[in-house]
Amino acid sequence: MTKPAVVLIGADKGGVGKTMVARTLLDYFAHQQVRARAFDTEVPRGTLKRFHPDVTDVVDINYVPDQMRIFDTVNSTDVSVSLIDVRAGLLSPTLRALRNIGFIEAAKKGHITFVVFHILGPTLASLDEIAETAAYLGDAKYLMVKNFISNTHFFEWDETTYVSYFKRVPDAVEITIPKLTEMATEQLELASVPFATFIANKKQSGDPASYSFVLRGYVRHWLGNVWAEYNRVGLTDIVQATGPPSHLSAGRDQS
């Protein structure tokens, strides 16, 4: 049977485009007919929920009842992927909490698929996050994302330095998210709709919209490149892996 999958998107630095990546993933899973739900940890007002209100709940990832809402239900919901957009500064604390509740160990035993999208910023301080993050990963699928969304001129690290950090995580995979033209990004913010809905010239309600033909073209081309990266790393196969029954449901031993 297909194992439930948890996809964590985060960074310890802010302003690196985590939610933008989360939005591309929700559109990608919908296109691949992989049922997904999302949790936005930007309490009390979530950014991800503004774009994907039908599948997103806003939660406080530090609040135990909200942790239960997410992780006690991964095996009882009819969706196969639970996506968590982690607020800036909370990636390491969240991974530490997952280790403490036995989630990392359950993933190691094959009861659940755990995928981490670590959004790297343009500085060496961002690389320093890798060492701290790696300490909590267990057997998670670790994807280092070089995101050009927020940085027109991405800092190019010394290759030797970068490789030394990259090698700290066995089987880590690098993904590159290209930059989207700023005018398209701005119109998407105003429209507050998923990328695929914008491309289809629809409002959140499904009614026809009047978005720029040119900007829709830029978004279509950009999103195609992003999805090509997800296809390259076999993301659909990763989240639809099969395995033993999950022990991550209420009342069961997670050890």
Q: Which residues of the chain have pLDDT under 50?
A: 152, 250-255
Task: Round to whole Å and give the CA distance between 158 and 161.
Answer: 5
Q: How many CA atoms lie within 13 A of 246 on its CB side?
A: 27
Q: What's 139's DSSP letter?
A: T
Query: Can you read off the two tokens belonging to residue 119?
Result: 């959004």
Q: What is the pLDDT of residue 247?
A: 56
Query: Can you read off the two tokens belonging to residue 228?
Result: 């090509």
Burial class, 145, CB count within 10 angstroms (exposed 0-12 / middle 13-18 / buried 19+): buried
Q: What is the pLDDT of residue 122?
A: 66
Handedness of CA 182, 187, 86, 26 (dihedral sign): negative
Q: What is the pLDDT of residue 155?
A: 53
Quote the pTM value: 0.89
Q: What is the pLDDT of residue 24?
A: 97
Q: What is the pLDDT of residue 157?
A: 58
Q: What is the pLDDT of residue 152?
A: 46
